[in-house]
């Protein structure tokens, strides 16, 4: 496992705060000779799967975690001036039970505890602590806050509560981050560790990849907070050391407490979350009692639908196409998927909720047409089923369904009630900093006049997926300005460093997930 492991890292999914791109983290870990790495974004686990896959690709052991926000009182309390203050805490999943509990805690933070940030509290932390390793976090952690306020007894009380809950999986976190307050906090944490017999662990709290990325990160924080670099009251870290440090740097800094370095490796060895991909679990659709299997009911719906669409004596071509599609659907295990989609579309159509005729590759299925998931005849228009579903396709089939905007929520409510609220979710989407937007954002932060920033942004071609680098190559005028004007080069270089990062999360306008 090497001689040091980073256990406190923020990616681009610590929105407008972390500047580490998921794909770059395991590559950097490999370059620095590390064999494992954790991801601990603020309050969310948006990047967990991408991080896991990226690490596996590079031969790095992924550790799935989160820096959760803890409410000062109850997660249900939302009083201004009190409950908008919160503590940080690092949680790392040891196993799948830990991963499930971490996912549960993060969800509770959004569903029950959201107030400025998604917050949990000590009640649910105790309830869902199994399979988790807990680190006391950064200067914003409860133990650190008490120590820095001179409340040593309170710090001991907080630390002992966590030790009682997590046992040997609770660690006091000391950091190498260049902050003056951290030096004092580290001294107090080391003393507390000896007094309470709680082990230490060393981290950096990495928000960007390399030291030279610190300035770009400051610009990113200004974009998040609506400030300019020239503002004296802007949020800043006053350090350029929040990068992914090498093992050698960490070992040298903490040479007086080598056990804090050794414990990073011990923790990494404890964390063994393995995901299985390609196995889809669907909710159960209750078929009428007279049918022995779901397939029997599905086949009956198909047979009745074919006759309804094509008459009592359909042609041989239609019957063979239907039989082929049914066999593929059965073979690939999507009978329940078709039944569930049919169910909520049938609900809408029988409750006077307008439903679109169907879009995308799903319109190529004669079975979808037969059972009225779609209303487009694939035979008439020569549409291919294989574009929608075939044995070579790995991913789930995807029906694009349009419901009347005014009654769309009625359909969602029906599905939630029938299959369980815990089995239904709306899909997240991320607004990213596209080329023109990020140029305008960076220019504003650097006090470039709006007219100049707007002119620069308008030199980016209106082309799908265009990047600033590609635009400079295509637009000779932009290239000339980039090469000759110092301020333009500064804006574009920073913009290219931040381009494509998620800016905000929101609910996808059109899709829901049924699991």
For 80-122, how does the pLDDT look when each residue is reduced to its tens digit (9 = 90+)? 999 999 999 999 999 999 999 999 999 999 999 999 999 999 9
How much is the pLDDT for 510? 61
Mean pLDDT of 421-450: 89
For the cut 90, the answer to whether the pLDDT of residue 429 exceeds it is: no
Neighbours of 500 (CB within 10 A): 16
Decide: helix, strand or coil at residue 321.
helix
Q: Are 487 and 5 in contact (CB under 8 A)?
A: no
Averaged over 186-191, what is the pLDDT? Answer: 97
Determine how many CB atoms are found less than 10 A away from the CB of residue 264.
27
DSSP states of 19-79 as a string?
-B-TTHHHHHHHHTT-SEEEE--BS--TTHHHHHHHHHHHTPEEEEEEEEEE-SS-TT---
- Using DSSP bridges, classify how beta strands 87-93 and 61-70 pair: parallel, antiparallel or unpaired: antiparallel
DSSP letters of 216-242? Answer: HHHHHHHHHHT--TT-TTS---S-S--
Name the token pair of 454: 């707007």
- For helices 294-310 and 335-349, the axis angle rounded to 10 degrees is 50
Distance CA 102, CA 64 (A): 9
Helix intervals (H) in 292-434: 294-310, 316-331, 335-349, 366-370, 378-381, 408-419
Q: For residue 301, how many C-alpha atoms fall within 13 Å in the half-sphere facing its CB?
A: 26
Task: Name residues whose C-beta falls within 8 Å of residue 160's C-beta, 6 or more positions apart in sequence.
Answer: 196
- Taking the whole predicted model, whether its pTM rises above 0.85 is answered as yes
Domains present along the chain, CATH in parentheses: 24-270 (3.20.20.140), 294-428 (no CATH), 434-499 (1.10.10.1600)
Asked if the model's pLDDT at residue 177 lies above 90, the reply is yes
What's the sign of the alpha-carbon dihedral 264, 266, 270, 276? positive
Judge contact between 219 and 443, C-beta under 8 A.
Answer: no
CA–CA dist 335, 300 (Å, integer): 12
Mean pLDDT, the chain, as a whole number? 92
Q: What is the pLDDT of residues 469-510, one digit of tens each?
A: 999 998 999 999 999 999 999 999 999 999 998 888 887 766
Instruction: Answer yes or no: is pLDDT of 13 > 60.
Output: yes
What share of the chain in percent tops pLDDT 90? Answer: 80
User: For 8, which DSSP code?
Assistant: -
The length of the chain, given as a count of residues:
515
Residue pair 64/101 in contact (Cβ under 8 Å)? The answer is no
């Amino acid at each position: 496992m090497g001689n040091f492991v980073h256990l406190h890292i923020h990616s681009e999914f610590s929105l407008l705060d972390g500047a580490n791109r998921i794909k770059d983290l395991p590559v950097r870990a490999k370059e620095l000779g590390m064999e494992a790495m954790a991801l601990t974004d603020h309050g969310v686990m948006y990047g967990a799967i991408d991080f896991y896959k990226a690490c596996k690709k590079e031969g790095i052991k992924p550790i799935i975690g989160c820096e959760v926000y803890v409410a000062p009182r109850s997660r249900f309390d939302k009083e201004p001036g009190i409950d908008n203050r919160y503590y940080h805490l690092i949680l790392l999943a040891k196993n799948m039970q830990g991963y499930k509990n971490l996912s549960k805690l993060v969800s509770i933070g959004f569903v029950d505890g959201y107030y400025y940030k998604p917050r949990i509290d000590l009640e649910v932390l105790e309830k869902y602590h199994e399979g988790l390793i807990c680190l006391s976090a950064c200067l914003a952690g409860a133990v650190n806050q008490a120590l820095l306020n001179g409340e040593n007894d309170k710090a001991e009380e907080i630390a002992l509560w966590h030790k009682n809950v997590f046992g040997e999986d609770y660690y006091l976190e000391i950091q190498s981050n260049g902050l003056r307050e951290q030096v004092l906090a580290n001294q107090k944490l080391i003393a507390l560790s000896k007094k309470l017999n709680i082990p230490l662990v060393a981290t950096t709290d990495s928000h960007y990849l390399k030291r030279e990325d610190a300035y770009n990160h400051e610009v990113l924080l200004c974009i998040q907070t609506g400030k300019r670099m020239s503002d004296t009251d802007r949020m800043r870290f006053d350090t350029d050391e929040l990068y992914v440090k090498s093992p050698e740097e960490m070992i040298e800094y903490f040479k007086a407490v080598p056990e804090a370095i050794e414990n990073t490796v011990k923790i990494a060895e404890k964390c063994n979350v393995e995901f299985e991909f390609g196995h889809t679990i669907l909710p159960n659709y209750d078929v009428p009692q007279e049918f022995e299997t779901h397939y029997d009911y599905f086949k009956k719906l198909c047979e009745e639908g074919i006759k309804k669409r094509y008459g009592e004596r359909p042609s041989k071509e239609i019957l063979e196409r239907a039989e082929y599609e049914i066999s593929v659907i059965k073979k690939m295990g999507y009978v329940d998927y078709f039944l569930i989609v049919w169910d909520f579309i049938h609900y809408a159509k029988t409750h006077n909720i307008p439903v679109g005729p169907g879009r995308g590759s799903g319109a190529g299925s004669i079975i979808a047409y037969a059972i009225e998931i779609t209303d487009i005849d694939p035979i008439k228009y020569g549409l291919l089923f294989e574009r929608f579903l075939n044995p070579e396709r790995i991913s789930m089939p995807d029906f694009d369904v349009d419901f009347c905007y005014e009654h769309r929520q009625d359909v969602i409510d029906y599905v939630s009630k029938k299959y369980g609220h815990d089995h239904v979710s709306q899909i997240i989407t991320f607004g990213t900093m596209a080329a023109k937007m990020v140029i305008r954002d960076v220019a504003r932060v650097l006090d470039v006049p709006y007219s100049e920033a707007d002119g620069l942004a308008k030199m980016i071609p209106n082309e799908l997926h265009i990047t600033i680098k590609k635009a400079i190559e295509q637009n000779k005028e932009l290239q000339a300005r980039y090469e000759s004007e110092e301020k333009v080069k500064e804006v574009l270089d920073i913009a290219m460093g931040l381009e494509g990062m998620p800016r905000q999360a929101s609910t996808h306008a059109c899709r829901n997930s049924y699991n």
